[in-house]
């Protein structure tokens, strides 16, 4: 029993660390993930690393290719556009249901969440640090997921959460290649407008603003995300 628990813990550690490096853009699209190399890199045994890679494959962040083992999932503009459209379909459905079920407790949580996100975003141009950027990502996801919190479907929330994580990878890859592009200008005002529409119990406006927010982000990434990573990969 102890050995099984220890194995699960190691598998969780491997999953979380590899996933974080993929989302942060430290592991590049199409980069091979050899079991032995990953095991040495994270100081975790080969078996839990393999299980972690299989799990990440089911989450869409890793691909398993015949006779080639595992690699980081590739990216493309078409995939990003499909990802954004799917997020719009699912999140506007969840947002509409969440607004129908909103209460004072959620209102207060949303206001506090937005305040924390906005405060962190104001600090980024002055303190462009990795830890602060990761804090912004966490608070950003917290805010968006909180908007959907009362949709009434844990399955729908799970799908939305997974798609948000995949979108983060594109954003981080763009910033890694364009350090001057810290965060998109105007995003904070868009968050505030969405929040106001939710607090006003206006689902039509809130859903339209959310869609516009994602489409603006998509257009902002065109030309910024580096679609070729061959020269950046380790030898």
Average pLDDT over residues 161-165: 92
Model pLDDT for residues 46-74, shown as the tens digit of each residue:
999 999 999 999 988 999 987 778 999 99
The yes-or-no verdict on residue 41 having pLDDT over 60 is: yes
Average pLDDT over residues 106-125: 90
Structure tokens at 106: 């959620």
**Residue 62 shares a structural domain with residue 89:** no
Using CA atoms in the order 86, 225, 162, 84, what is the torsion angle rounded to 10 degrees?
A: -10
**Residue 67 shares a structural domain with residue 156:** no
**Residue 192 shares a structural domain with residue 94:** yes
Q: Last residue of a domain, which of 48, 74, 100?
A: 74
190: domain range? 77-221
| Residue 71 region by backbone torsions, left for phi larger than 0, else alpha for psi between -120 and 50, else beta | beta
**Residue 66 shares a structural domain with residue 179:** no
**Residue 86 shares a structural domain with residue 183:** yes
**How confident is residue 135, by pLDDT bands cut at 50, 70 and 90?**
confident
**Residue 110 shares a structural domain with residue 213:** yes
**Residue 42 shares a structural domain with residue 85:** no
**Residue 70 shares a structural domain with residue 95:** no
**Residue 114 shares a structural domain with residue 203:** yes
Q: Last residue of a domain, which of 39, 74, 109?
A: 74
Q: Indicate the number of domains in the chain.
A: 2
Question: Residue 57: which CATH number?
Answer: 1.10.10.10
| DSSP states along 5-53 | HHHHHHHHHHHHHHHHHHHHTSSPTT-EE-HHHHHHHHT--HHHHHHHH
Q: Is 233 within the bounds of a domain?
A: no
Neighbours of 86 (CB within 10 A): 14
**Residue 23 shares a structural domain with residue 34:** yes
Q: Is 23 within the bounds of a domain?
A: yes
**Residue 117 shares a structural domain with residue 48:** no
């Amino acid at each position: 029993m102890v050995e099984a628990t220890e194995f699960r813990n190691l598998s969780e550690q491997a999953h979380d660390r590899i996933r974080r490096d993929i989302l942060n853009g430290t592991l590049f699209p199409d980069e091979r993930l050899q079991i032995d190399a990953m095991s040495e890199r994270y100081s975790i045994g080969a078996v839990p690393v393999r299980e972690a890679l299989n799990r990440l494959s089911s989450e869409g962040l890793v691909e398993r290719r015949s006779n080639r083992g595992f690699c980081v999932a590739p990216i493309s503009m078409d995939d990003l556009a499909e990802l954004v459209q799917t997020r719009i379909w699912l999140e506007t459905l969840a947002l509409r249901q969440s607004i129908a079920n909103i209460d004072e407790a959620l209102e207060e949580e949303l206001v506090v969440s937005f305040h924390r996100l906005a405060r962190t975003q104001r600090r980024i141009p002055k303190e462009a640090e990795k830890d602060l950027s990761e804090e912004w990502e966490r608070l950003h996801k917290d805010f968006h997921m909180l908007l959907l919190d009362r949709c009434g479907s844990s399955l729908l929330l799970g799908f939305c959460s997974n798609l948000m994580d995949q979108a983060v990878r594109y954003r981080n890859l763009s910033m890694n290649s364009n350090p001057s592009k810290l965060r998109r200008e105007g995003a904070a005002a868009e968050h505030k407008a969405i929040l106001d529409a939710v607090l006003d119990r206006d689902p039509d406006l809130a859903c339209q603003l959310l869609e516009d927010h994602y489409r603006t982000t998509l257009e902002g990434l065109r030309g910024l995300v580096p679609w070729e990573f061959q020269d950046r990969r380790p030898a």
